[in-house]
Structure 1
């Protein structure tokens, strides 16, 4: 039997055999639809295939993928090959079956009932516990057995993320990312929802629609204090200001161009840089991304005078080491928080660091006054660029009082 299935380009690698197949990303990407279609296709091609659709907790079939699988069976025109029952879907003409279960209902003994199954699809896999994953993996031991996972990431220490997106994923695993931009059939209603979050709530947009980790917490330094939107600097904007932060082997070397808007907000217009950028390549990259900076004053981290000297000798004469003072980091961060931020959509690193820059949290979950020295390269560069304005605000001029006495 031949099936014609419209498959988005990103999903083509999933058609190859692999022990582990994972798809992660934001909502409205079509991940679950692709997995359900692939499952139905596999059962059509093999009448004896046994498959299980798994969630960590499944109190009712209405919270399972059963309805989606049923919908795909109808849409693909293969209903005559299946017997859709109340709690499972059987394949006519063979011993094939698709069942729907919650992993929390299983023990080390009960999980053995799945030993003959050849496909296990974990839906909402971000909720799967480490214990459940350790129970499932050795149970899927039939020749050619595959474990599929689809999920919207929540935290980097979730079991499925550590397993399939960690430093050492299983050899041969197919792990793909899919977001709303990859869905060619996205309805206009969802596009409107996405546009709303993109403009008004960057944290929600990144987590829900792009599959970024959920970072919303009281520890976020710029939570609720920045917006991502396109802009053109006006004649009444103060600037531009340029700032640079020097990187190392694992940190980016950064150049930013920013402005102060009439309402006081700081607008980040352009960014340039990358991790592992050699000093002799820095000028070329900056000149390509922000050519106007080469003729301007650039305030840079003064901790690297040899780098500043090199750049000055190679055509970037306006670079100067920024004056620092005790508490300059804290003063700068508070100044930026008070002013608020507008980030141009092309500044991808600025958007990421605006979400992830945070205060330290102790083991009890208390947010501390100390700032984590991470995800801060853009904001260090912005602080350097605007250092004179920040210092003028945070270090008021000392007044001298003359006392007239009698001698």
Structure 2
């Protein structure tokens, strides 16, 4: 078995109770740990491993597919039995399972006592309670706990444990896209160049620096990223579109209003530099159910709306705007709160980075930056019939 190993991974090949890698996007952290896990299971046919996230409601958002891909790439598929919920080692008792820590109690976590490797992916989301449950459970001789994460807050449990005061012997490494010899530059160059215009965004997304919350964040404390399945009593769906330009994405969203009144963003389709004649094809591939529904969009591009109406998307329509419509819409979304499905990565990113402007003294002012807002604009357009009614009444009340 031949594994092409980035230089930064070499310290992790040594035995250690705690191993971790943290940093920004496209660093190759997950790929390296997946390869290490496959190698460990090849070398020990009886090794039992568990891959953990804080919330694991479906395998779709686990690292199972990545591990399956590595098994295939490394040419060891004949040594594994890949099942729906787990991966078994042929010729031994070894197994790799996938679990969420929120499903465990102090009693149920004991089921992992015989496991030798626990890999926590997206470890920035791991709660302090989950970390305290997991650590003493991994007690087999030579057991290791692996952590990979994109830092979010300095007081997140994994950062407090592995970066502020790491245990003796822990191997914890920073790694970014600049350390990845397999970095897909062609695919991500436009995104990187776009984010460089905002130093804070670039530092957090690509260099793994903390996303320090501030009063300038529009949706601070008002959004949640979690899996969900729309129910029969949900209002919707609503579809909205925002048109892109040279460096901005064209975005289509599908969203709902939950029974408790939140705005739930279920699906998104977005691409930078999307030609008008390719837009319908992308939408049909990623959100095909939108074709038969009303899609409310930015009315500033009538030529785009007309083109799509004449090419298979007859229910695309522009929305009415008014002075202060952006602020009205954002206030309405803040009051409702957002529930974002994990598959909507762009929506989750914008919810974190969408900001109010600040003056030179650092004071937050009542104006919204025109950046990191393409999904949010599409959501505003999708729900414009609801937002307009509230906005117009609100202005009339102030005016009169």
TM-score category (smaller protein): 0.5 to 0.7
- Which of 373, 376, 381 aligns to 1:376? It is 373
Residues 51 and 121 in structure 2, CA contact (< 8 A), matched pair in contact too: no
2:210 corresponds in structure 1 to 214
For structure 1, which runs of at least 5 residues remain unmatched after alignment?
1-5, 15-22, 24-30, 38-71, 76-123, 125-149, 154-164, 166-174, 401-407
Equivalence for 1:12: 5
Match of 1:256 in 2: 253
Please tell me whether the aligned partners of residues 243 and 300 of structure 1 are also in contact (alpha carbons under 8 angstroms).
yes
Alpha-carbon offset, residue 198 of structure 1: 3.9
Alpha-carbon distance in 1 for matches of 2:153, 2:336? 23
2:295 aligned partner: 298
Aligned to 2:33: 182
**2:226 maps to 1:229:** yes
Q: Residues 78-128 of structure 1, C-alpha deviation per residue, up to 9 Å, x if partnerless?
A: xxxxxxxxxxxxxxxxxxxxxxxxxxxxxxxxxxxxxxxxxxxxxx9xxxx
Separation (CA, whole Å) in 2 of partners of 1:203 and 1:395:
41
Question: Once the 2 structures are TM-superposed, how far is the Cα of residue 206 of structure 1 from its aligned partner?
Answer: 8.5
Residue number in structure 2 paired with 1:392: 389
SS in 2 for 1:294: helix
How many equivalent pairs are there?
Answer: 248
Deviations 1:190-235 (A, max 9, x none): 8647678648899966887897442322211111111111111111
Is 1:266–2:117 an aligned residue pair? no
Contact 2:269 2:283 (C-alpha < 8 Å) held by counterparts: yes
In structure 2, the residue corresponding to 1:222 is in which secondary structure?
coil
Structure 2 spans left out of the alignment, 5+ residues: 38-48, 55-100, 102-119, 129-148, 159-204
2:5 counterpart SS class: helix
Could you say if the C-alpha distance between residues 241 and 212 of structure 1 is closer, same or farther in structure 2, counting changes exceeding 3 Å?
farther
Q: Which residue of 1 aligns with 2:98?
A: none
1:360 to 352, 357, 362: 357
Q: Distance in 1 between matches of 2:240 and 2:264?
A: 13
Match of 1:101 in 2: none
Query: Which of 346, 349, 353 is the aligned partner of 2:346?
Result: 349
* 2:216 partner SS: coil
Cα deviations across residues 325-371 of structure 1 (Å, max 9, x unaligned)?
11010011111111001111111111111111111122322122111
User: Alpha carbons of 1:368 and 1:285: their partners in 2 closer, same or farther (altered >3 Å)?
Assistant: same
Matches within 5 A, 1:119-198: 152=23, 176-179=27-30, 182=33, 184=36, 192=101, 198=125
Alpha-carbon distance in structure 1 between the residues aligned to 2:268 and 2:384: 18
CA–CA distance in structure 1, aligned partners of residues 32 and 322 of structure 2: 45
Paired with 1:289 and 1:381, the residues of 2 have a C-alpha distance of 16
Q: C-alpha distance in 2, partners of 1:356/1:182?
A: 28
Q: Using the alignment, how far apart are the partners of 2:264 and 2:244 within structure 1?
A: 23
Distance 2:150 2:360 in 1: 24
SS of match in other structure, 1:395: helix
1:282 aligned onto 2:289 = no
**How has the CA–CA distance of structure 1 residues 382 and 212 changed in structure 2, closer, same or farther, with 3 Å as cutoff?**
farther
The Cα shift of 1:397 comes to 8.4
Instruction: Give the corresponding residue for 2:328.
Output: 331
Structure-1 separation of matches of 2:227 and 2:303:
37
